[in-house]
Chains A and B, each alone.
Chain A
């Protein structure tokens, strides 16, 4: 849920270093940012989201704009940190490919099993997309970024972003039809 009219006072207070303002901003965006990073294969999405916000805090004095622009700006930073992580990961040996089930402890066992199944199907479908297509679709869907904002985040022209999302959706549609993925 957007912060709305209270965004501006929250931003001013965040620039001045008020804890409550940062709690508001973080609570609003941590979920989408973490979700975006997770969907893009970040090994530790919560950690990377936290790093993203500390980077936002370091640069907050230079930010001017409304809530949508702020959201876009945060996702741009998150995306760049993700790219950095990918580069770093490529330079390191892959020591483990085991799935991390730590986040599925306790609670609704049946629901968790279903979640894992759905998530597994989703990831399977996403695997047919190119990395650029996945970046664009995740930023647009999870980040709720506009075409222009997404173009800025990924460093491409708006036309290229439109083409990427179109081809990605077509590929997904074909995959869903051909393999009859049960979602």
Chain B
């Protein structure tokens, strides 16, 4: 092909009418051959956006997004709000067993940032503090995340609240080695959530009280370093989680009497065996 032919071809293409381009991009086959030849390419690009998320993913993101929206709304969530009739069958049951990497990463890093913020060299959280600085994340939104967990708990989703709270610890192991205590705390929360889901006991008043106590403990201690290496904090979380859902071979904590007052002394670690807050 001569340079003149190249020039002719380019001029022909460059006169591609705007109207044809708009038709092409909107999925309509244009009249001109020049534009029509590109339909297959446009269709292939469009096909990249045809996928649909799994129902588990939809449920997870919907719950997270709804909680976030409620936390930013000046309106009370309409407890009677229902989908229009044609969507009635779309109401999703909680899929608490599935946590997407996306949500965990998104929420987890901010939580760890909160915990690690201000750590000094030699502290257990110092490695995380530095790592977060490197990737440009400063103070996180752990308290906001815990508020959202409380909102889930108030709706009777104790397991979901625990998983949401566990998010603040996610990626701790990836960010820094030697952070086992917090990793254990996260695992304890997720184990407790899993046990609740398995037992279907998320509406039990005692369970909800114990979850509330654990969330309070996290709220009060997450930004602090309890113990020289964070073990006390991790152990505290694990103890409270165990009260919610005892592991295999462990005896559940006896149910506290109804006149038990709320245990407000969380700073030095939870009181094992007596975490009920009396509702």
Contacts and interface: CB of A to CB of B under 8 A. Distances in A.
B49 A31 contact: yes
Given A18-B66, A46-B102, A169-B21, A30 B61 contact: yes
Contact of B53 (A20, A26, A47, A165): A26
B66 A21 contact: yes
B52 to A, nearest CB: 5
A144 to B, nearest CB: 8
Interface residues of B, number: 65
Contact of A174 (B13, B44, B66, B70): B13
Interface string B95-135: 00000111101110000000000000000000000000001
Contact of A48 (B34, B46, B68, B102): B102
Interface string A20-63: 11111011001111111011000010111111011011101100
Counting from the closest, the 4 A-B pairs by CB-CB distance are A35-B49, A17-B70, A50-B102, A47-B102
B243 to A, nearest CB: 29
B106 to A, nearest CB: 5
Given A15-B69, A141-B42, A169-B21, A6 B86 contact: yes
Interface residues of A, number: 62
B267 interface: no
Contact of B102 (A6, A44, A169): A44
B78 A18 contact: yes
23 contacts: A14-B69, A16-B70, A16-B77, A19-B92, A20-B91, A20-B92, A23-B59, A24-B90, A35-B49, A35-B50, A39-B48, A51-B102, A54-B64, A54-B68, A61-B72, A122-B41, A122-B44, A142-B45, A142-B48, A165-B21, A166-B18, A172-B38, A173-B34
B106 A17 contact: no
B81 A13 contact: yes
A22 B21 contact: no
B273 to A, nearest CB: 36
A39 B45 CA distance: 8
A172 B35 CA distance: 11
B58 interface: yes
Interface string A123-164: 001000000000001101111100000000000000000100
B278 to A, nearest CB: 29
A130 B58 CA distance: 34
Given A23-B90, A172-B41, A53 B65 contact: yes
A10 to B, nearest CB: 8
A90 interface: no
A114 interface: no
Contact of B84 (A6, A15, A16): A6
A83 interface: no
B135 A20 contact: no
A54 B106 contact: yes
B92 A173 contact: no
Given A18-B66, A23-B58, A142-B48, A13 B78 contact: yes
Interface string A79-121: 0000000001000000000000000000000000000001000
B102 A88 contact: no
Given A27-B52, A30-B52, 8 more contacts: A17-B69, A27-B58, A31-B52, A34-B53, A48-B102, A51-B106, A54-B103, A57-B66
B205 interface: no
A172 B64 CA distance: 40
B65 A169 contact: no
Contacts of B100: 46-47, 50
A14 B66 contact: yes
Contacts of A142: 45-46, 48-49
A24 B81 CA distance: 14
B32 to A, nearest CB: 12
Find the residue from B57, B75, B86, B102 having the highest chain A CB count within 10 A. B102
A88 to B, nearest CB: 7
Nearest to A150: B25
A6 B71 CA distance: 24
Contact of B16 (A35, A38, A166): A166
B174 to A, nearest CB: 13
Given A51-B102, A170-B16, A22 B69 contact: yes
